[in-house]
Amino acid sequence: MRLKIVRTMALVLLMGLSSAPMAEAQTITVNNESVQENQDEQNNQDIEENQDTQDEQDSQNNDSEQKDEDKQDAQKDNDKQDNTEIKESKKKATKKKTAKKSSNLFNGKIRRSAVTLRKGRSYSSKAITRIPRNKIVKVYGTYGKWRKVSYKNKIGYVPKQNVFISVKAPSLKGQSSKEKGKTVAKFAQRFKGNRYVYGKTDLNNGTDCSGFVRSVYKAFGYKLPRSSSEQRHAGRKVKKGYIQPGDIVCYSGHVAIYIGNGHIVHASTRKTGIKISSNYRYRRVLSIRRIVK
């Protein structure tokens, strides 16, 4: 019996000795796994922090790029606005220029027979259209033997002898003396290029110098003497330093209408007809007279 108890205690002791290394091994294994888990957690933390840093950097870059894009968009908007303003300004300038051109136009009528509207000032120039007799055209001006006109929105040239210039003068009502003179001077220039005919007073078919001045002012309701010597005493005298458009410039045996900037319009000679001269002092001036009031 005693031997059996000894054997049992020995067996228990032996089992205890053999289980100790196993427990120690299990403990080491658990500790290693914990260390690995901690290491993995730290690595994950590092990765996440790095990713957060990268994300923050990307966000900053994106913000910077967005700001650049916003700046570019703003610049485009500004450029677009500037372009719009420039276009509007050009449109206004064009309209103003067109309005100014329109204000310089005057009526004419095709006389004698139908005429061909041509692209240039030559009979060999390309034909644009035919203008029937007695049709009204807008006249831009006279260039040598041709007049630039528009008909049904088509612009070209016709022989000047085929265009009768309207002798209906614009109203002077409400204008100052200076403005009236400018209106008279502008009206007188319509007849540039028409014929000089001694002893006549017709602004379209022919007139001499005093007949030209008399007929221009007659269109505005003023009655002037017939001869140049008599016109030298018409209206009121003006000193040379105060000359203005519309004043009549009297010479010996000749008379003209001052149009500004030293220029005059007058029925000069049979060769030149009614023309514009650039220096009103091209001959001795006897008197300057102002007709408008």
- Quick: pLDDT tens for 84-142: 667 676 665 554 444 445 568 999 999 989 999 999 999 999 999 999 999 999 999 99
State the pLDDT confidence band at 246, using cuts at 50, 70 and 90: very high
Q: Is 215 left (phi over 0), alpha (psi -120 to 50) or beta?
A: alpha
In whole angstroms, what is the distance from residue 278 CA to residue 88 CA?
38
Q: 156-188, pLDDT tens digit by residue? A: 999 999 999 999 999 999 999 999 999 999 999
Residue 1 has pLDDT above 70, yes or no: no
For 239, phi then psi, to 5°, come to -70, 150
Q: What is the pTM of this model?
A: 0.67
Catalytic one of 233, 250, 254, 263: 254
Buried b (16+ CB within 10 A) or exposed e, 163-197: bbbbeebeebeeeeeeebbbbbbbbbbbbbbbbbb
pLDDT of amino acid 104: 85
Percentage with pLDDT > 70 across the chain: 66
pLDDT of amino acid 98: 44
Find, among 166, 134, 168, the residue nearest to 151 by Cα. Answer: 134
Chain-wide mean pLDDT for the chain? Answer: 83
pLDDT of amino acid 67: 62
Complete DSSP assignment for 211-241: HHHHHHHHTTT----SSHHHHTTSSEE--GG
Contact 171, 244 (CB under 8 A): no
pLDDT of amino acid 45: 47
Q: Are strands 146-151 and 154-159 parallel, antiparallel or unpaired?
A: antiparallel
Residue 190 has pLDDT above 80, yes or no: yes
Q: 195-238, pLDDT tens digit by residue? A: 999 999 999 999 999 999 999 999 999 999 999 999 999 999 99
Buried b (16+ CB within 10 A) or exposed e, 55-72: eeeeeeeeeeeeeeeeee
pLDDT of amino acid 41: 47
- Annotated catalytic, 250? no
The mean pLDDT of 21-36, rounded to a whole number, is 51
The mean pLDDT of 46-55, rounded to a whole number, is 52
Catalytic one of 233, 250, 263, 266: 266
pLDDT of amino acid 33: 53
Amino acid identity for residue 249 in this structure: V
pLDDT of amino acid 112: 87
In whole angstroms, what is the distance from residue 158 CA to residue 41 CA?
99
pLDDT of amino acid 256: 98
Decide which of 47 and 263 is more confident: 263
- Annotated catalytic, 233? no
State the pLDDT confidence band at 292, using cuts at 50, 70 and 90: very high
Distances in whole angstroms, Cα of residue 50 to Cα of each of 39, 58, 59, 145, 280: 16, 12, 14, 90, 92
pLDDT of amino acid 75: 76
Segment among 81-85, 103-107, 276-280 with least mean pLDDT: 81-85
